[in-house]
Amino acid sequence: MLNWLFWAIVALVIIYFVWQMMPVKGVVNITTDELKKRLRDKNVQFIDVRTPMEYQQYHIKQFKNIPLQRLRKECETLDRDKEVVLICRSGSRSMRAARILKGKGFTKITNVVGGINHWQP
């Protein structure tokens, strides 16, 4: 019985993490090279969802830091009519952030695939 329960829990954890990494319908994915071409666009809100410590260590200057843990509350400070470009360390937290914003009614959401790990200034 315990062996079955253990494997059921493992399967659920795997399903959860795979689901978190799945693309969100309506969210555009771009590379860091594509991001470079868009950084001057004043009609875009650039949001870095990493922790404040990660952001402080290194960030792209156009990005405002709203940690993933605070995004549900702080998304009200964002303009729903403007595109939101999300970045994190590797792309998984920003994909979770995209799910949150999608659930809050945002429609113009872009995720930077590979995150800051793939950024080369």
Residue 88 designated active-site: yes
The answer for residues whose C-beta is within 8 angstroms of residue 105's C-beta and 6 or more apart is 80
Give me the catalytic one of 35, 88, 98, 109.
Answer: 88
- Helix H, strand E, coil C: the string for 40-93 is CCCCEEEEECCCHHHHHHCCCCCCEECCHHHHHHHHHHCCCCCEEEEECCCCHH
60, 39 contact by CB (below 8 A):
yes
Catalytic residue numbers read 88
